[in-house]
Amino acid sequence: MLLPLLVIQGLAAYLLFKGVPRRKKYHPELWARGMVLCALCAGQYYAVYIGQMPAAFGVGVLALPVFLRLAQNTEIKRRRVEQQSVTTPTNKLETPFIIVRVNANTRAMNGEVRQGTFTGMHLEQLAADDLLDLLAELRKVDQRSASVLMTYLDHTQLDDWRARFRARFTKTKEQMAREEALQILGLKEGASDDDVKAAYRRLMSRLHPDAGGTDYLAAKVNMAKDLLLPS
């Protein structure tokens, strides 16, 4: 008895989702179509529950032409996008780590990451903070790739992205000094005062001039301890 309903629901699902890309920018549309399908199924099963099988079947039959028209419109849009991507000339900024495409007519930009943390992701899918993280990563491994991404950011992001990048990744002198002090003592961020004292005693037992060390190394250890311990 339920087989006709299952067939109708299967056709409805096929028509609703046919041709819709599974990319992030289309997620709201996919969710909306999924809700429509759920509403159809719920209505049909409720009609069956109250003993109105003809009504359940009729609702599905009436909905199918609407879904068919929707699928046809989706297919038309998809073909237009494909045709535009084929006929519109594009310029490429390409490196081993990133590729950016520039529409020659509209100057619109898109691209994708080839290597690294965000491998395979499209630039337009990344949030602003993710793009800044990507830039920091590229600056460590390939300056040309970083320059290409900066061109993309200049074109697509707000004017203050450079200030946000500096605030996010540029270290102050105090931060650099603290990191150097921790490195000298062989400690990590979050080390307690007791950890600092223990590391200081351990190093001084080996680096003090009386123990065969040098004045320079002993002075560096003393400076690191003084910086990390509150006065």
Q: Is the pLDDT of residue 190 over 60?
A: yes
Beta bridge partners of 224: none
Using alpha carbons, select from 106, 103, 105, 108 the residue that is nearest to residue 91.
103
Average the pLDDT over 126-133 and give the result. 89
Give the pTM.
0.42
Average the pLDDT over 111-134 and give the result. 90
Averaged pLDDT score across all residues of the chain: 81
- What confidence tens digit (pLDDT) does each residue in 18-54 have? 766 666 556 677 778 778 888 888 888 788 778 888 8
Beta bridge partners of 103: 90
Q: Which two tokens stand for residue 154?
A: 């200049």
Q: With contact defined as beta carbons under 8 Å apart, do 184 and 205 qualify?
A: no
Q: Which range is most confident: 7-16, 21-30, 113-122, 163-172?
A: 113-122
Question: Structural domain boundaries of the chain?
Answer: 3-87, 90-169, 173-228
Q: Write out the E strands in the chain.
A: 90-94, 98-103, 109-113
Q: Is the pLDDT of residue 112 over 90?
A: yes
Greater confidence (10 vs 1) lies with 10
- What confidence tens digit (pLDDT) does each residue in 55-69 have? 877 877 778 787 778
Using alpha carbons, select from 100, 145, 105 the residue that is nearest to residue 123.
100
Options 1.10.287.110, 3.90.1150.10, 1.10.1200.10, 3.90.470.10; CATH of 173-228: 1.10.287.110
Q: Which two tokens stand for residue 81?
A: 């996008």
- What confidence tens digit (pLDDT) does each residue in 76-92 have? 776 766 665 555 567 88
Greater confidence (168 vs 221) lies with 221
